């Protein structure tokens, strides 16, 4: 059990853990992400709003958060406890939109700063008297917390009137949850007609799970049925294992619906106020109330952090899967392109017609043009096929929604990029051929080479045909050997073959990297999971 | 926070659209319903048929489900099937009766109101929460046994009002069901409510001043059922707990919330949900409710309206699977581009050019002077060596560029499926891929079948004449030369002019004829080449059309048919509110905003 002494190591461990939790990013839209995000937000809220400030300042006032369903009479209850209308109550639901915190004037400094609930802006109002009730205050900005002071409250106790836990306004619901997380004492308010509702019971079960200091108030009970309803409620609590939770019953009075002063008579809330005051004033009771909630929350981390870590790991796994799908698709297409090149698929269609007509009816340049185009078509087809495969895999992968950024006209851009690269290949090939021809010209002057001085274009065309034609273009190789000599031709063909493969790989790799860029930009790594678990084990040691 | 896991689970369940029908499979009546004397009437066929408008929509929905079962796999389709089943089941039962359910949160006073409407205490009321744990039925007249069997209300829970109900003549055809709560910790109750809500004709939502804004009610029920506004009543019970002024305020706030839920309000004579305050305890407002119900059940349109609303909801959920967000279909341009790509794949242009050149070369060679031909042959020999590169060509397979065919099919499939809803786009793509399977081989065969146009070009009619003329010129040259030689030898009489002229004529005439032939051959050669190109391209296009475009078009046609059926299902009144329903908050918000103002104004007028 956590004591109220200052524990620097524990605080350090918690701060480290908090930073790890804050650093968690869940960019891929997996099915469990909304839940993990909520877990993260809750953990942060609980660490920032409650655990760290509580352990740092064990002497800070107790914060009792009053929560419950719509229309349970939370605001009326807070007003009655304070003895003044600090929070507006009314018949329209939901009433409380801006949470109100009430404390003793001397405790004000604890709450004026950003010690607890740092994300809520403080709204400070001048002391209002009963003739000018606070209800006139306009609904100010969102994310505000009104801090009120009242000398009627005992020192060392603060009350917080939270929005409905089952509000139709989602933000209110979330805010209520966050506020409950910041509480030392959870005050659950329910009513005679609501005590069997499902939603408040969820909250009660959660309180039990966290082992928080809990007190329930059965509000708005008609006089004639107090005994029976109270008994039934008690039975339900017993059944849920919450039989030892302090229970208070407040009868329904005209004041409950805004009649009269809007405040319940002193007698109706005296027991509850007494209980709360006892927690605040008696050191032993206070110690017990605070440390029970605190250690409950710390214990709950054991279960909740691994859950978050699991979600982080799932992110990484999804990222690996997505990357793997892209890489596999391009690898597969790369292999296919090599196979097709070997089979002579480039020397088909137009290129084949040119090749058949060469050299009598088509020039080497035309042949080279056709081959260049054909190669570009092969690569474009491979890229499209890879993209199609990736789309197919990603359709079944929910996380892929984060990457769907293929803009219109992308296909044309791909074609342009491929065209550029293939033209570059052609230029290098032509340079290679030119070099080779120059080399041949020098020793020329005797023997077979004298028969013809090959021009560079012919050599380039034959070379390209011999690479792309497979078996079909064997004559091209023979002819090349005839022109340049067997050895030179062989050397040239090897060089040219490497050249083609280099450029093919370059195209496919560039496209693959473009595809992976958005995923890389998300920066999903396995480290956060390990760090979370490590921070948790440090905390467990310190506990 | 804390209660989150459960709360979230709840929210997910709330968001599942017409939850009400989820439990339909479990619809087994607890008891076989032995209520004497009623079966006979029931089997006598009180079940009426629906109006023609609704029947058309139901038939269309039936057709739609049948047509798309192989294409669309979705929860929504199963949902539509359930709507059909329920519609059919309701039709078989009494059309004389209208089943109205009282639903609401625990402690809102459903049972008290039930008793107030019955005029006798038939449903147990109490403080114990939750009170009612099984649906209870109240019938004013005979003949509703079938309906209650369908709802699974056992015989022991069927009640009659005071004096057998004969007193309330106007409520004769009402069947009132008291449902358990929907929001208590006893989840079995919620399941019962969900099930019953899918089967009743109309619902009275009973809310109270404390719970009227509960998220459980609005998010889980009223929002998904917003389309059912016409068969919905919302009753603010326990108004006796509020002052008159407060009651008005709460009522207005309730209207505002309903409006935000997307539920149309039946104000100023418009169709929509009815909102009214009652107090079951004091009886305030109960006569009004009775009167309203009497009018409602006497119209006898509730079952139809309910089914229509169900179809609306099902259609809204099916919408993404049927309605395209862009113009669909395969344009003429796409078809032409496809044909063009196939032509490139078979190499039509290059083949045509080759044919043209071969033809021209052959012609010029045939008509050229022998000397020139000798010279060209020598030049070629020097340039390319002795071997003809084509001589050793091995057997050719895969004449067609596979990658180009694949790409062409991919592009045309993409264009055809552009903007189609996902399942249909997939079907179109599959049709294209299936068609493309044998396409390259077919194109190979085609190219081989047409033959190489460059192999054996035809000879034009004037060729022999040209060749003859060229030969004549050569003869003239030789003749002139011989004549000159003869003069030199002295064999022939000297006379320089004539033989020289003859020889010069021969020498000049040869190239002249060759040149004339060359220019004469240009046009026909180009025509020949173009003809060859066109033939090949057309054959390829025809092949592609038969194998790829036609199946794709058939698939598109099928989609269009289904789309028409869907339009029939969606009905003649496309309601933006219903479209926005089903969890898409944006649409609802947009639809709700202007009406919100109107409602407030309306409230003020009142």
pLDDT (tens digit per residue) in A110-142: 888 877 777 788 876 554 444 444 444 444 456
Task: Answer whether A474 sits within 8 Å of B357, measured CB to CB.
Answer: no
Instruction: Report the C-alpha gap between B460 and B523 in whole angstroms.
Output: 12
**Which residue of chain A has the CA closest to B406?**
A381
Q: pLDDT tier at A32 (50, 70, 90 boundaries)?
A: confident
Q: pLDDT tier at A508 (50, 70, 90 boundaries)?
A: very high
Cα A542 to Cα A13, A15, A184, A538, distances in angstroms: 7, 13, 22, 6
Task: Answer whether A258 sits within 8 Å of B246, measured CB to CB.
Answer: yes
Task: Answer whether B213 sits within 8 Å of A194, measured CB to CB.
Answer: no
Q: For residue A316, what pLDDT is reported?
A: 92
- Residue linked to tokens 């990603």: A394
Q: Which of A39, A42, A44, A40 has the alpha carbon at shortest distance from A18? A: A44
Task: Answer whether B403 sits within 8 Å of A340, measured CB to CB.
Answer: yes
pLDDT in tens, A290-328: 888 888 888 888 888 999 999 999 999 999 999 999 999
Contact residues on chain B for A193, CB-CB shorter than 8 A: 106-108, 129, 208, 210-211
Q: Which of B315, B305, B585, B252 has the alpha carbon at shortest distance from A170? A: B585
DSSP B227: G
A450: distance to nearest CA of chain B, Å? 9
Least confident of A170-174, B415-419, B584-588: B584-588
Instruction: Report the C-alpha gap between A423 and A366 in whole angstroms.
Output: 14
Tell me the pLDDT of chain B averaged across its residues.
76
Instruction: Report the C-alpha gap between A356 and A333 in whole angstroms.
Output: 29
Task: Answer whether B107 sits within 8 Å of A192, measured CB to CB.
Answer: yes
Residues A147, A161 contacting (CB under 8 angstroms): no
Q: For residue A258, what pLDDT is reported?
A: 52
Contact residues on chain B for A296, CB-CB shorter than 8 A: none
Q: What is the largest CA-CA distance in chain A?
A: 128
- Residue linked to tokens 């099916």: B318
User: Does A194 contact B at CB distance below 8 Å?
Assistant: yes
Q: Which of residues 386-405 of B touch A (CB under 8 A)?
A: 387, 389-394, 396, 398-404
Written as six digits, the tokens of A508 are: 């496919």
Q: pLDDT tier at B79 (50, 70, 90 boundaries)?
A: confident
Q: For residue B591, what pLDDT is reported?
A: 35
- What lies within 8 Å, CB to CB, of A197 at 6+ separation is A69, A166, A190, B105, B106, B183, B184, B185, B216
Least confident of B217-221, B244-248, B295-299, B321-325: B321-325
Give A19-52 as a DSSP string. Answer: HHHHH----S--TTHHHHHHHHHHHHHIIIIIIH
In terms of pLDDT, which residue wins out, B587 or A291?
A291
Contact residues on chain B for A352, CB-CB shorter than 8 A: 347, 350, 396, 399, 401
Give B361-403 as a DSSP string. Answer: HHHHHHHS-HHHHHHHHHHHHHHH-SS-TTTT-------S-HH
DSSP B234: E
Q: For residue B396, what pLDDT is reported?
A: 60
Best residue of B7, B350, B396, B452 to probe chain A, by most A CBs closer than 10 Å:
B350
Q: Which of A94, A139, A88, A140 has the alpha carbon at shortest distance from B257? A: A94
CB contacts < 8 A (A, B): 257
Q: Is B552 exposed, middle or buried (0-12, 13-18, 19+ CB in 10 A)?
A: buried
Written as six digits, the tokens of B185 are: 């910790």
Q: Where are the beta strands (DSSP E) in B229-335?
A: 232-236, 274-277
Q: For residue A512, what pLDDT is reported?
A: 92
The answer, yes or no, to whether residue B66 has pLDDT greater than 70, is: yes
Residues of chain A with pLDDT > 90, as a percent, come to 13
Task: Answer whether B454 sits within 8 Å of A357, measured CB to CB.
Answer: yes
Contact residues on chain B for A361, CB-CB shorter than 8 A: 353-354, 357-358, 361, 454
Contact residues on chain B for A91, CB-CB shorter than 8 A: 209, 242, 246, 249-250
- Range among A359-368, B96-105, B177-186 rated most confident: B96-105
Residues of chain A with pLDDT > 70, as a percent, come to 88
Instruction: Report the C-alpha gap between A149 and A154 in whole angstroms.
Output: 11
The answer, yes or no, to whether residue A147 has pLDDT greater than 70, is: yes
Q: For residue A266, what pLDDT is reported?
A: 81
Q: For residue B394, what pLDDT is reported?
A: 45
- Residue linked to tokens 């033939």: B535
Q: For residue A382, what pLDDT is reported?
A: 92
Contact residues on chain A for B423, CB-CB shorter than 8 A: none
Query: Strands A100-103, A213-221: parallel, antiparallel or unpaired by DSSP?
Result: unpaired
**Which residue of chain A has the CA closest to B129?**
A196
Average pLDDT value for residue range B64-92: 82
User: Does A165 contact B at CB distance below 8 Å?
Assistant: yes
The answer, yes or no, to whether residue B6 has pLDDT greater than 70, is: no
Sheet architecture: strand order including B174-178: B158-159, B136-139, B174-178, B98-104, B202-207, B232-236, B274-277
User: Does B246 contact A at CB distance below 8 Å?
Assistant: yes
SS3 A153: coil
- Residue linked to tokens 């909250």: A203
The answer, yes or no, to whether residue A365 has pLDDT greater than 50, is: yes
Q: For residue B27, what pLDDT is reported?
A: 34
DSSP B156: G
pLDDT in tens, A397-416: 888 777 765 665 677 888 89
User: Does A388 contact B at CB distance below 8 Å?
Assistant: yes
Q: For residue B567, what pLDDT is reported?
A: 86
Residues of chain B with pLDDT > 70, as a percent, come to 79
Best residue of A189, A197, A476 to probe chain B, by most B CBs closer than 10 Å:
A197
DSSP A61: P
pLDDT in tens, A414-463: 889 999 999 999 999 889 888 888 876 555 444 444 445 567 778 888 88
SS3 A446: coil
Cα B15 to Cα A192, A229, B215, B223, B582, distances in angstroms: 29, 33, 12, 9, 8
The partner residue sitting opposite A228, judged by closest CB among B127, B382, B389, is B127
The answer, yes or no, to whether residue B508 has pLDDT greater than 90, is: no
Best residue of A353, A378, A419 to probe chain B, by most B CBs closer than 10 Å:
A353
SS3 B275: strand
pLDDT in tens, B14-50: 333 333 333 333 333 333 333 333 333 333 333 456 7
Task: Answer whether A229 sits within 8 Å of B127, measured CB to CB.
Answer: yes
Instruction: Report the C-alpha gap between A232 and A226 in whole angstroms.
Output: 10
Q: For residue B127, what pLDDT is reported?
A: 67
pTM reported for the whole predicted model: 0.75
Q: Which of B356, B353, B365 has the alpha carbon at shortest distance from B524? A: B356
Q: Which of residues 319-358 of A touch B (CB under 8 A)?
A: 340, 343-346, 348-354, 356-358
**Positive or negative: CA dihedral A404, A407, A408, A410:** negative
CA atoms within 13 A on the CB side of B543: 27
Instruction: Report the C-alpha gap between B371 and B444 in whole angstroms.
Output: 42
Q: For residue A427, what pLDDT is reported?
A: 92
The answer, yes or no, to whether residue B578 has pLDDT greater than 80, is: no
The answer, yes or no, to whether residue B605 has pLDDT greater than 50, is: no
Contact residues on chain B for A362, CB-CB shorter than 8 A: 350, 353-354, 357
pLDDT in tens, B424-476: 888 888 889 898 888 888 888 887 777 665 566 677 777 788 888 888 888 88
Q: For residue B582, what pLDDT is reported?
A: 37
In terms of pLDDT, which residue wins out, A273 or B7?
A273
Q: For residue B572, what pLDDT is reported?
A: 65
Residues A403, A473 contacting (CB under 8 angstroms): no
Residues of chain B with pLDDT > 90, as a percent, come to 3
Give alpha helix (H) positions in A60-211.
74-82, 108-112, 170-181, 198-210
Instruction: Report the C-alpha gap between B138 and B33 in whole angstroms.
Output: 15
Q: Which of A194, A501, A227, A410 has the alpha carbon at shortest distance from A216? A: A194
Best residue of B127, B210, B408 to probe chain A, by most A CBs closer than 10 Å:
B210
Average pLDDT value for residue range B558-583: 65
Residues B328, B418 contacting (CB under 8 angstroms): yes
The partner residue sitting opposite A177, judged by closest CB among B2, B351, B403, is B2
Q: Residue A456's CB: how many other CB atoms inside 10 A?
A: 17
Contact residues on chain A for B536, CB-CB shorter than 8 A: none
Residues B280, B286 contacting (CB under 8 angstroms): yes
Q: Which of residues 306-365 of B touch A (CB under 8 A)?
A: 344-347, 349-351, 353-354, 357-358, 361
Query: Strands B232-236, B202-207: parallel, antiparallel or unpaired by DSSP?
Result: parallel
pLDDT in tens, A37-86: 988 988 888 888 888 888 888 888 889 999 888 777 888 888 888 888 88
Q: For residue A421, what pLDDT is reported?
A: 92
In terms of pLDDT, which residue wins out, B331 or A471?
B331
Instruction: Provide φ and ψ at B574, rounded to 5°.
Output: -70, 105
Best residue of A65, A299, A348, A377 to probe chain B, by most B CBs closer than 10 Å:
A348
Written as six digits, the tokens of A291 are: 């440390």
Written as six digits, the tokens of B389 are: 């590169």
Written as six digits, the tokens of A455 are: 């021009």
Instruction: Report the C-alpha gap between B70 and B558 in whole angstroms.
Output: 12
Task: Answer whether A344 sits within 8 Å of B398, measured CB to CB.
Answer: yes
Residues A67, A189 contacting (CB under 8 angstroms): yes
- What lies within 8 Å, CB to CB, of B520 at 6+ separation is B462
Average pLDDT value for residue range A267-295: 87
A86: distance to nearest CA of chain B, Å? 21
B510: distance to nearest CA of chain A, Å? 24
User: Does A182 contact B at CB distance below 8 Å?
Assistant: no
Q: Tell me: cis bond preceding B146? Omega within 30 of 0 counts.
A: no
Average pLDDT value for residue range B587-595: 35
Instruction: Report the C-alpha gap between A256 and B75 in whole angstroms.
Output: 47
């Amino acid at each position: 059990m956590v004591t109220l002494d200052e524990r620097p190591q524990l605080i350090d461990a918690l701060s480290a853990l908090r930073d790890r939790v804050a650093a968690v990013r869940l960019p891929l839209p997996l099915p469990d992400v909304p839940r993990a995000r909520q877990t993260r937000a809750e953990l942060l809220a609980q660490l920032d709003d409650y655990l760290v400030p509580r352990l740092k300042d064990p002497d800070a006032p107790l914060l009792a958060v009053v929560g419950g369903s719509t229309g349970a009479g939370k605001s009326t209850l807070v007003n009655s406890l304070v003895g003044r209308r600090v929070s507006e109550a009314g018949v329209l639901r939901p009433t409380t939109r801006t949470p109100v915190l009430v404390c003793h004037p001397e405790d004000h400094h604890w709450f004026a700063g950003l010690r607890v609930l740092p994300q809520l802006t403080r709204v400070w109002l001048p002391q209002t008297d009963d003739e000018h009730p606070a209800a006139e205050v306009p609904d100010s900005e969102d994310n505000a917390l009104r801090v009120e002071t009242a000398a009627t409250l005992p020192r060392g106790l603060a009350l917080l009137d939270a929005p409905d836990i089952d509000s139709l306004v989602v933000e209110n619901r979330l805010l209520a949850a966050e506020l409950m997380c910041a509480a030392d004492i959870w005050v659950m308010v329910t009513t005679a007609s609501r005590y069997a509702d499902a939603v408040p019971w969820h909250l009660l079960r959660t309180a039990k799970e966290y082992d928080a200091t809990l007190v329930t108030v059965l509000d708005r009970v008609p006089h004639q049925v107090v005994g029976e309803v109270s008994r039934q409620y008690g039975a339900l609590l017993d059944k849920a294992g919450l039989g030892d939770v302090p229970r208070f019953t407040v009868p329904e009075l005209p004041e409950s619906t805004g009649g009269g002063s809007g405040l319940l008579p002193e007698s109706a809330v005296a027991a509850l106020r007494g209980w709360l005051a006892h927690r605040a004033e008696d050191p032993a009771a206070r110690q017990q109330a605070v440390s029970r909630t605190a250690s409950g929350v710390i214990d709950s981390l054991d279960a909740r952090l691994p859950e978050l870590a699991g979600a982080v790991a799932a992110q990484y796994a999804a990222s690996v899967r997505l990357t793997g799908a892209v890489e596999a698709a391009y690898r597969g297409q790369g292999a296919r392109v090599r196979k097709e090149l070997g089979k002579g698929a480039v020397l088909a269609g137009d290129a084949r017609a040119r090749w058949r007509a060469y050299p009598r009816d088509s020039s080497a340049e035309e042949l080279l043009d056709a081959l260049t185009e054909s190669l570009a078509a092969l690569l474009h087809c491979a890229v499209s096929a890879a993209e199609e495969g990736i789309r197919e895999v990603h359709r079944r992968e929910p996380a892929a929604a984060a990457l769907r950024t293929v803009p219109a006209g992308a296909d044309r851009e791909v074609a342009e990029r491929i065209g550029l690269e293939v033209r570059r290949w052609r230029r290098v090939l032509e340079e290679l051929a030119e070099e080779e021809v120059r080399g041949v010209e020098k020793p020329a002057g005797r023997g077979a080479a004298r028969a013809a001085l090959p021009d560079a274009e012919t050599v380039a065309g034959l070379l390209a045909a011999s690479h792309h034609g497979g078996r079909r273009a064997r004559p091209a190789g023979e002819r090349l050997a005839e022109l340049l000599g067997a050895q030179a031709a062989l050397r040239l063909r090897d060089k040219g073959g490497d050249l083609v493969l280099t450029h093919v790989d370059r195209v496919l790799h560039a496209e693959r990297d473009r595809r992976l860029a958005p995923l890389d930009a998300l920066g999903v790594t396995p480290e956060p999971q390990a760090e979370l678990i490590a921070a948790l084990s440090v905390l467990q040691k310190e506990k | 926070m804390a209660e989150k896991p459960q709360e979230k689970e709840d929210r997910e369940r709330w968001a599942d659209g017409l939850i009400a029908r989820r439990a339909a499979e479990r619809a087994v009546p607890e008891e076989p319903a032995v209520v004497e004397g009623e079966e006979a009437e029931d089997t006598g066929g009180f079940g009426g048929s629906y109006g023609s408008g609704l029947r058309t929509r139901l038939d269309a929905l039936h057709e739609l489900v049948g047509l798309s079962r192989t294409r669309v796999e979705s929860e929504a389709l199963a949902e539509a099937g359930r709507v059909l089943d329920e519609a059919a089941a309701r039709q078989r039962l009494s059309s004389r009766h209208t089943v109205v359910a009282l639903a609401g949160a625990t402690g809102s006073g459903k049972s008290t109101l039930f008793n107030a409407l019955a005029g006798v205490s038939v449903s147990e009321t109490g403080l114990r929460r939750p009170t009612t744990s099984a649906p209870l039925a109240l019938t004013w007249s005979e003949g509703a046994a079938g309906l209650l069997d369908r709802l699974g209300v056992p015989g022991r829970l069927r009640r009659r009002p005071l004096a057998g109900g004969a007193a309330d003549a106007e409520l004769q055809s009402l069947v009132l069901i008291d449902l358990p709560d929907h929001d208590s910790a006893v989840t079995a109750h919620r399941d019962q409510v969900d099930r019953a809500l899918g089967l009743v004709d109309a619902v009275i939502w009973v809310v109270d001043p404390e719970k009227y804004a509960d998220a459980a009610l609005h998010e889980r029920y009223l929002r998904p059922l917003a389309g059912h506004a016409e068969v919905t009543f919302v009753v603010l019970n326990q108004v006796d707990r509020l002052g008159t002024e407060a009651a008005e305020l709460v009522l207005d706030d309730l209207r505002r919330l309903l409006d935000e839920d997307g539920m149309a309000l039946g104000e100023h004579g418009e169709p929509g949900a009815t909102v009214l305050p009652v107090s079951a305890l004091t009886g305030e407002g109960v006569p009004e409710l009775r009167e309203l119900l009497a009018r409602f059940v006497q119209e006898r349109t509730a079952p139809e309206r309910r089914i229509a609303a169900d179809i609306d909801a099902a259609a809204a959920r099916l919408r993404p699977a049927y309605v395209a967000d862009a113009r669909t279909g395969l344009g003429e341009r796409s078809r032409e581009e496809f044909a063009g790509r196939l032509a490139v794949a078979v190499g039509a242009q290059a083949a045509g050019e080759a044919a043209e050149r071969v033809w021209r070369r052959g012609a010029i060679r045939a008509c050229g002077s022998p000397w020139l031909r000798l010279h060209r042959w020598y030049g070629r020999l020097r340039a390319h060596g002795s071997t003809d590169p084509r001589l050793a060509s091995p057997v050719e397979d895969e004449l067609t560029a596979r990658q180009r065919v694949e790409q062409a099919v991919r592009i045309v499939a993409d264009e055809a499926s552009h903007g189609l809803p996902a399942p249909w786009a997939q079907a179109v793509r599959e049709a294209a891929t299936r068609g493309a399977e044998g396409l390259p081989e077919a194109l190979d065969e085609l190219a081989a079948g047409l033959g190489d146009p460059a192999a054996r070009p035809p000879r034009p009619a004037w060729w022999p004449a040209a060749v003859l003329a060229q030969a004549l010129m050569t003869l003239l040259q030789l003749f002139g030369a011989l004549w000159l030689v003869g003069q030199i030898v002295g064999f022939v009489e000297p006379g320089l002019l004539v033989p020289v002229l003859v020889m010069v004529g021969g020498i000049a005439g040869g190239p002249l004829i060759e040149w004339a032939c060359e220019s004469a051959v240009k046009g026909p050669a180009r025509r020949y080449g173009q003809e060859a190109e066109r033939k090949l391209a057309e054959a390829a296009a025809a092949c592609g059309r038969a194998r790829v475009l036609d199946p794709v078009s058939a698939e598109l046609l099928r989609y269009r048919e289904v789309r028409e059926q869907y339009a029939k299902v969606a009905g003649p009144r496309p309601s933006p509110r219903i479209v926005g329903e089903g969890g898409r908050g944006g649409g609802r918000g947009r639809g709700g905003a202007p009406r919100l103002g109107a409602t407030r104004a309306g409230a003020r007028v009142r």
